[in-house]
Homo-oligomer: A and B are copies of this chain.
Amino acid sequence: MRTSRDIRTANRYGVLRQIIASSPTSRQELAAATGLSLATVATLVGELLDLGMITEVGFEDSAGGRPRGLVAVNAAGGALIGVDIAETYVHVELFDLALNVLARAEEDVRTGGNRPERLVGQVAAAVGSVVAQAGTEAARVLGVGVSMPGQVDRDSGVSEYAPNWDHWHDVPLLDLLGEHISYPLHLDNPLRACAVAELWFGAARGRRDAVVVNLGTGVGAGLVLGGGVHRGVSNSAGEWGHTTLVLDGRPCHCGNHGCVETYVGAPGIMRHLEELSPDSALLRPGDQTATIDALARGVTAGDPVAVRVVRDTARYLAAGIADLVNLLNPEVVVLSSWVAATLGEPLLAEVRTAVARHALRRPLAATEIVLSPIPTDPVCLGAATFALEGALQSVGQRATVRRQPAPARSRTAPPV
């Protein structure tokens, strides 16, 4: 059962999301857009005004009636920090409340896999850097969202397993970060970050059911179901990269064989290129990014090997996407992350054609397949949104004592 508290939090998300999308806007427009009653919208708008997240910005005429008050997001009402920890780098971005990027920092963490303390130090340095660059007062930072690949326990802040770092197990990431960072911290993984980014700011906004397919070194699917992110019972949902595409197929680091990820992740694409044309000039051994870039340029130039590799990848991808369409019947499938962004429209066109050969007619007819419209790093944006959701979830929390669901772990260490 959803409690009234869950519902109020979800409605608060929905109203702020709509205000960010359409500032300035009136309570009446918000009620129409969200399906909530005007009274509910007025209460939620009042809470957001009290928090300083939005402001009153004047009135609009309403065809002879009383002028309607307009509200808009208060970009300067706070700052949010998103941390994207990946296999080889850490990106950190600082956003205002309209989710504009005010500052960026990056660290190279190729050696970070075996040394949690070093990684934590690098994240802390990058967080300090964006705050300093933006000249943001520490008190304005509402929170820091951290995206960590693999399986994470949101409530305890533990990174349980990182697929590409062999000796990384059960690292208490938020406890370690909390020794350096004094803002509330929120942990989740890139699948959820990309799903939340699309839900708030991208192709899943206003959709009830959407799937955000992440194509990078790792592969997965962030699920938006029933208008919110589906996390599953232990926050592990979305491991589409580890569903079987080819029974007894390529071995996967997860221990299974024939996983989707082994065919459509960047290493799988490189492997296919190598098998097809071992001496191809497109292949940059040991450098996934350069190889995928070279493939994208090759497709544009009409290189037959590049065209073949992208077409074959699209075919694997399409079989896996058809599984998502048949199983979940979403309104939209969004292709996100760097492999999708780099291979772009040519990949999308091949995928659309191939999905139609695999999916059932009725769910296929109801589904669009699109590239992510988010122009910046969606993982940083989504991670910052974890912090925004955390701030909205804690509104009035002290007033509520009964049956309060466990919030995402957040803590405030003594200020640095």
Give the B-binding residues of A (Cβ under 8 A). 1-4, 7, 10-11, 14, 34-37, 40, 151, 160-161, 208-209, 221, 223, 225-228, 230-240, 242-247, 249, 254-256, 316, 319-320, 322-323, 326-331, 357-358, 360-363, 365-367, 403
Contacts and interface: CB of A to CB of B under 8 A. Distances in A.
Contact of A1 (B34, B330, B366): B34
A71 B10 CA distance: 32
A135 B249 CA distance: 59
B233 A1 contact: no
A242 B326 contact: yes
B327 A244 contact: no
Given A242-B326, A246-B247, A236 B1 contact: no
Contacts of A221: 327
Contacts of A160: 362
A114 to B, nearest CB: 20
Nearest to A255: B357
Contact of A3 (B3, B35, B240, B363): B35
17 contacts: A2-B2, A2-B226, A4-B40, A151-B361, A226-B226, A226-B230, A232-B329, A233-B367, A234-B329, A234-B363, A235-B329, A236-B362, A236-B363, A236-B366, A237-B328, A240-B327, A256-B357
Given A1-B34, A34-B1, A323-B243, A234 B366 contact: yes
Copies in the complex: 2
A36 B232 contact: no
A246 B323 CA distance: 12
Contacts of A358: 244, 256
A221 B323 CA distance: 12
A36 B329 CA distance: 31
A152 to B, nearest CB: 9
A233 B366 contact: yes
B329 A236 contact: yes
Contacts of A360: 151, 236, 239, 242, 254
A265 to B, nearest CB: 15
A173 B262 CA distance: 45
A225 B2 CA distance: 12
A23 to B, nearest CB: 18
A245 B247 CA distance: 6
A221 to B, nearest CB: 7
Contacts of A242: 326, 360
Given A236-B360, A256-B322, A327 B329 contact: no
Contacts of A34: 1
A247 B330 CA distance: 23
Contacts of A365: 234
10 closest A-B pairs by beta carbon, nearest first, are A232-B329, A243-B323, A239-B326, A237-B329, A236-B363, A234-B366, A236-B329, A151-B362, A233-B331, A1-B34
A407 to B, nearest CB: 16
B1 A11 contact: yes
A359 B326 CA distance: 21
Contacts of A11: 1
